[in-house]
Amino acid sequence: MIAVTAWKGGNSALAITDCEHTTGLICGSGNSTDRFAVVSMVQDQSGDRTDKQGEHCVDRITATDGHEFMTAHTKDSPRVRRTSTTLADGRELIYFDDSEPYLSGSKSRNAVDERPLDTRPTAGTIRMDALTGDWVSIADHRQNRTFLPPTDECPLCPTGGGTMPSEIPADAYDVVVFENRFPSFAGGSTTTAAASMNPLLAHAPASGRCEVVCFTSDHDASFSSLSVARARTVVDVWVDRTRELSAMAGVQSVFCFENRGREIGVTLNHPHGQIYAYPFIPARTASLLAQATSHHRSTGRLLGADLLAAELDAGSRVVIRGTAWTAYVPYAARWPVEVHLVPNRDVADLVALDSAERDELAEVYLDLLGRLDRYYQAPDGSPIAMPYIAGWHQGPVGQGREVSRLHLQAMSVLRAPGRLKYLAGSESGVGAWINDVAPEAVAARLREVG
* Catalytic positions, written as ranges: 272
Q: Please spell the DSSP secondary structure of 328-378, one letter per residue.
A: E--TT--SSEEEEEEESS--SSGGG--HHHHHHHHHHHHHHHHHHHTSEE-
Positive or negative, the CA dihedral 300, 301, 304, 309 is negative
- C-alpha 230/C-alpha 232 separation (Å) is 5
Q: 425 CB contacts (<8 Å, ≥6 apart)?
A: none
Q: Is the peptide bond before 439 cis (omega within 30 degrees of 0)?
A: no
Per the DSSP assignment, residues forming a β-bridge with 253 are 278
CB atoms within 10 A of CB 433: 12
CA separation, residue 123 to residues 99, 130, 139, 318, 359 (Å): 36, 22, 8, 42, 37
- C-alpha 393/C-alpha 403 separation (Å) is 13
- C-alpha 93/C-alpha 165 separation (Å) is 15
Please measure the distance between the N-terminal and C-terminal CA atoms of the chain and give it in whole angstroms.
52
- C-alpha 57/C-alpha 177 separation (Å) is 29
DSSP character at residue 414? E
